[in-house]
Amino acid sequence: MTSILIIYTGGTIGMVNDPKTGSLVPFDFKQIRQNVPELDRLDYNLDVHSFDPILDSSNMTPEIWAEIALLIQNRYDEFDGFVILHGSDTMAFTASALSFMLENLNKPVVLTGSQLPIGEIRTDARENLITALEIAATKHKGKAMVPEVCIYFDYQLFRGNRSVKYNSEKFEAFRSPNYSILAEAGVTLSFFNNYILPQPDKALKVHLDYNPNIGVLKLYPGISPLAVKAITHSSVDAIVMETFGSGNTTTADWFINCLQEAIDGGKIIIDITQCQRGSVELGMYQTSKKLQQMGVVSGYDMTFEAATTKLMYLMGQGLDHAAVMKLMEQSLRGELTA
């Protein structure tokens, strides 16, 4: 029998209405079959690990990512796949982080959640949960169909480190702006094999160390030297810089000097675009040529979530600056198109 581990971290999906108070409260996921009787028709061996206490996803941290990764490592041989129930607000961050932490993953790790609680009549929770379990259980010639960390939401399966939450009001909460979906749930489950990572030929290797000491510099017309220096002259180890278009910034001397001083002081600066679609191309325009010359690293078409978690992951591995900068521009888990 196919065995799936459900890891419940928290989020809207696990909420039901308390008839006494009228407020939303988490239900006991150990009794999940009572709340979702359709699971009995899947004929899976399901086990549930619930966080105690459960978390609002806004409180997610690298320490909790490590806890999830360690749980998967410790129970890896017991299960055919893993489904993580998670609040949608930071789901893309967790999916991106786990993709880097779980090297040589050959089993599905599917994150899902919902926009409405599981106890609501019109909830999207049941479909998301049931289909996520089916995806985690699907095999082809004895091997997992999707051997990677992914997000399932509203009939579509996304690569985790390519996903962004873009809507807080519709069931269609996630998109993958620069990469195709991996599967689609219609009358049948359709998998798009050309876009799914290949099965690794090495054993799972789990990385638990993260360095979250990074700053974020988002550019806008009229940004002041004071605002820029608050990031470039701070004690962070690296900076994710969200720029215009294909990686462009102001060419004002004071701004370029701030970046140069940060790099000279040992900081790594990653350039990602504010645009939902497209890629950074350093040197394409004069406004980004100086960045390229001074050693700013291209984030290509990485999402903000992927760029930040990848940077935290690489800096946590004890690598020197040159190695971190080189690997940031390489695809490690399918997170960028170089």
Question: Would you please indicate which residues are annotated as catalytic (active-site) residues?
Answer: 12
β-strand pairing of 109-112 with 214-218: unpaired
Give the list of residues 6+ apart from residue 242 with CB closer than 8 angstroms, or none: 216, 217, 218, 219, 272, 273, 274, 304
Residue 240, token pair as written in the block: 């994710």
Q: Which of 132, 128, 130, 134 is nearest to 171 (CA)?
A: 128
Phi/psi at 304 (5° precision): -60, -40
Q: Are 116 and 87 in contact (CB under 8 A)?
A: no
End-to-end CA distance of the chain: 41
Contact partners, residue 41, CB within 8 Å, separation at least 6: none
Other Cβ atoms closer than 10 A to 1: 8
Distance CA 77, CA 75 (A): 6
Beta bridge mates, 149: 109
